[in-house]
Structure 1
Amino acid sequence: MSLLKEAWPASRLVKVLSDGVQDTARQSVRSEWTKRLRATVAEPVYAELWMDIERVCNANRETPWPELPLTLFRQFALTGERKPYEDVYFERRGRLVALVLAAVADSEPWRMKEVESGLLEICREYTWALPAHVREEDTVTPPWQQVDLFASETVQMLAEILLLLGEQLDGHVVAQVRQEVGRRVLEPVFWQPRHFEWETADHNWAAVCASGCGIAALLLVEDSLGKAEAIEKMLGALDCFLAGYKEDGGCPEGVGYWVYGFGYFMYFTDMLRAFTGEAVDILNSEKVRQIAAFAERVHLSDGIFANYSDSSETERLPSGLISYLNSLQEGHSSLPFHVPGLLEDPCRRWAHVLRNLVWANPLAFGSDPAGVDYLPQLGWLMCRSRSFRHSSSHGRAGRQKPELDAMLAFSAKGGHNNEPHNHNDLGHFILHGGGENLLCDLGAGLYTKAYFSPGRESIINISSGGHSVPIINGTMQQSGARAKAVVLDIAVDEQEETRTGTRLKLDLTSAYPVEELTVFTRSFAWTALEENEGARLTVTDHFEFEPSGVSMKPWDVEELLISRIQPRTGMGFVEWQGTKAVVRLDYDASVVQPRVEAVKHLDHDGVPFVFYKTSLKLASDRWNDSASVDCNLFFIINQSSC
Structure 2
Amino acid sequence: MLSERLIFPLTPVPVFPPLRERAAWRAMSEIPRNRRFLGNRILPLAQNALTAPIPELPASLFMEFVRIGDRKHYEKPYFQRRQMLEALVLAEGYEYRGRFIDRIIDYLWAIMGEYTWSLPAHVNSGGDPLPELPFEMVDLFCAETGMLLAQTLNFMESELRDVSLNLVSGIRRNLQKRIIEPCEREPFPFWWGHGFNNWSPWCASNVLGVALTVLSGQPERQEKMVRSLAAIIDRYLDLYPADGGCDEGPSYWGVSPASMLIFLEELYNASGGKISIYDEPLVRHMGEFFADCYLDGGCFTPFSDAAVRFDPPVPLCRRYGERTGSEKLKNFTLRMLAGLNGEPYQPYTGYTSTSSLFRMPAFLFWLPAEEVPAPPAADSVSYYPVVQQLFVHAGKLAFAAKGGHNAENHNHNDLGQFMFFHSGEPMIVDLGRCEYTRHTFSERRYENWVLNALGHNPPLFDGVGQHDGKEHRAADVRFSQEGNRVQLEMELAGAFPAELELVSVRRSIRLDIGSGEIQVEDRWESRQPHTVQWNLYTPAKVAVRPGETEFRNGSAVMRLTLSGTPVSVAAAVPENPDPELTHSWGAPPCRVRLTAEAGCSGAVTMRFTFPASRN
Q: What's the TM-score, normalizing by structure 1?
A: 0.87
Q: Residue 172 of structure 1: CA displacement?
A: 2.0
- Aligned-partner SS, 2:331: coil
Query: What is the identity, as a one-letter code, of the residue corresponding to 2:409?
Result: P
Query: Match for residue 515 of structure 1?
Result: 500
- In structure 2, the partner of 1:354 is 361
Contact 2:549 2:559 in 1 (8 A): yes
Aligned to 1:526: 511
**Residue among 181, 204, 224 paired with 2:198:** 204
Q: Indicate conservation of the 8 Å contact 2:50/2:100, yes or no.
A: no
In the alignment, is the contact (CA less than 8 A) between 2:565 and 2:604 conserved in 1? no
Aligned pairs, number: 589
Aligned equivalent of 1:572: 547
Aligned to 1:396: none
Q: How does 1:237-276 map to 2 (within 5 A)?
A: 237-276=232-271
Matched position secondary structure for 1:343: coil
Cα deviation, 1:1-29, whole Å, max 9, x if unaligned, reads: xx323443xxxx4x332xxx43xx34974
> Residues 520, 330 of structure 1: CA spacing in aligned structure 2 closer, same or farther, 3 A cutoff?
closer
Instruction: From 531, 538, 559, give the equivalent of 1:556.
Output: 531
Equivalent AA in structure 2 for residue 210 of structure 1? A
Q: Does 1:30 align with 2:6?
A: no
CA distance in 1, matches of 2:564, 2:127: 60
| 1:45 shift after superposition | 2.5
After superposition, where does 1:115-264 map in structure 2 within 5 Å?
Answer: 115-137=104-126, 142=133, 145-169=136-160, 170=163, 171-190=165-184, 194-221=188-215, 222-264=217-259
How far residue 199 of structure 1 moved from its aligned partner, in angstroms, is 0.6
Deviation for aligned residue 1:378: 0.6
Q: Which residue of structure 2 aligns with residue 401 of structure 1? A: none
Q: SS state of the match for residue 311, structure 1?
A: coil
CA distance in 2, matches of 1:77, 1:138: 7
Q: What residue is the counterpart of 1:536 in the other structure?
A: 517
CA contact (8 A) 2:254 2:312 kept: yes
Whole-Å separation in 2 of the counterparts to 1:56 and 1:436: 33
Partners of 2:138 and 2:22 in 1: CA distance: 30
Q: Report the alpha carbon displacement of residue 35 of structure 1 after superposing the two structures with TM.
A: 5.0
Alignment RMSD (CA, Å): 2.5
Cross-structure match for 1:398: none
| Structure 1 residue identity aligned to 2:364 | L
Shift in alpha-carbon separation, 1:255–1:185, aligned structure 2, 3 A: same
The 3 A distance-change label for structure 1 pair 181 and 554 is: same
Structure 1 residues 27 and 593: alpha-carbon distance in aligned structure 2, compared to 1, 3 A threshold: closer
**Match for 1:303: what amino acid?**
G
Corresponding residue number in structure 1 for 2:596: 618
Q: Which residue of 1 aligns with 2:348?
A: 343
Contact 1:49-1:341 at 8 Å conserved across structures: no
Counterpart check, 1:635 vs 2:608: yes
Q: How does 1:6-21 map to 2 (within 5 A)?
A: 6-8=4-6, 13=7, 15-17=8-10, 21=11
Mapped to 2, the partners of 1:346 and 1:366 lie a distance apart of 33
Q: Give the residue type in structure 1 aligned to 2:605.
A: N
Q: Tell me: CA distance 1:240–1:29, structure 2 relative to 1, closer, same or farther (3 Å).
A: farther
Change (3 A) 1:77 1:354: same
- Tell me how far apart the structure 2 counterparts of residues 336 and 434 of structure 1 sit (CA, whole Å): 18
- Give the drift of 1:60: 2.2
Note if contact 1:576-1:584 (Cα within 8 Å) is conserved in structure 2.
Answer: yes
Distance 1:592 1:606 in 2: 29
Q: Which moved more, 1:108-117 or 1:503-512?
A: 108-117
Give the residue type in structure 1 aligned to 2:89.
V
Shift of 1:458: 1.7
Give the AA of the match of 1:304: C
Write out per-residue CA displacement over residues 279-317 of structure 1, whole angstroms, 9 at most, x where no aligned residue: 211222111011011111112234322220111222321
CA contact (8 A) 1:522 1:539 kept: yes
Instruction: Give the counterpart of 1:506 among 490, 510, 516.
Output: 490
> Residue type of the partner of 2:144?
E
Maintained 8 Å contact 2:19/2:93: no
Give runs of aligned pairs for residues 374-389 of structure 1, distance below 5 A: 374-386=383-395
Q: Percent identity of the aligned residues?
A: 27
| Residues 1:4 and 2:12 aligned together | no
What residue identity is the alignment partner of 1:611? P
Partner of 2:481: 492
* Structure of higher CA gyration radius: 1
Change (3 A) 1:443 1:488: closer
CA 1:36–1:560 in structure 2 vs 1: closer, same or farther (change >3 Å)?
farther
- String of CA shifts for 1:521-553, please: whole Å, max 9, x gaps: 000000034xxxx4111111010112xxxxxx3
Letter in 2 for 1:584: R
- Whether the 8 Å CA contact 2:19–2:25 is kept in 1: the answer is no
Pair 1:65 & 2:54 matched: yes
Compared with structure 1, are the counterparts of its residues 66 and 183 closer, same or farther at alpha carbon in structure 2 (3 Å cutoff)? same
Alpha-carbon offset, residue 426 of structure 1: 0.4
The gaps in structure 2 that reach 5 residues or longer are: none
Structure 1, 448-457 or 35-44: larger mean CA deviation? 35-44
Shift of 1:43: 3.5
Q: Hey, what's the Cα distance between the residues in 2 that align with 1:603 and 1:44?
A: 38
2:468 to 479, 488, 502: 479
CA contact (8 A) 2:15 2:266 kept: no
Say which of 571, 587, 594 aligns to 1:609.
587
| CA distance 1:489–1:336, shift in 2 (3 Å) | same
Can you list the C-alpha shifts for 1:545-594, whole angstroms capped at 9, x where unaligned?
12xxxxxx332111111112231211121122122322210124981111
TM-score normalised to structure 2 length:
0.90
| 1:492 Cα offset (Å) | 2.1
| Inter-CA distance 34–321: structure 2 relative to 1 (3 Å threshold) | farther
Q: Which secondary structure state, in structure 1, belongs to the residue aligned with residue 236 of structure 2?
A: helix
* CA spacing shift, 1:265–1:488, aligned 2, 3 Å: closer
- Equivalents in 2 of 1:416, 1:122: separation in Å? 41
Residue type at the aligned position of 1:594: V
Shift of 1:44: 3.5
Aligned ranges for residues 434-473 of structure 1 at < 5 Å?
434-473=423-462
With 459-468 and 227-236 compared, the bigger mean Cα shift is at 459-468
Q: Find the aligned partners of 1:195 and 1:267 in 2 and give their Cα distance.
A: 23
Evaluate the alpha carbon distance shift between residue 235 and residue 414 of structure 1 in structure 2; reply closer, same or farther with a 3 A threshold: same
Find the counterpart in structure 2 of residue 550 from structure 1. none
Q: Which residue of 1 aligns with 2:293?
A: 298
SS at match of 1:64: coil
Preserved CA contact (<8 Å) 2:559 2:609: yes
Tell me which residue corresponds to 1:312.
Answer: 307
- Do the aligned residues in 2 keep the contact of 1:578 with 1:640 (CA within 8 Å)? no
Which stretch shows the higher mean deviation, 190-199 or 28-37?
Answer: 28-37
Q: 1:381-409: per-residue Cα shift (whole Å, max 9, x none)?
A: 111211xxxxxxxxxxxxxxxxxxxx212
Post-superposition offset of 1:604: 3.9
State the alpha-carbon separation in 1 of the partners of residues 459 and 300 from structure 2: 23
Report if the CA contact (8 A) 1:572-1:588 is conserved: no
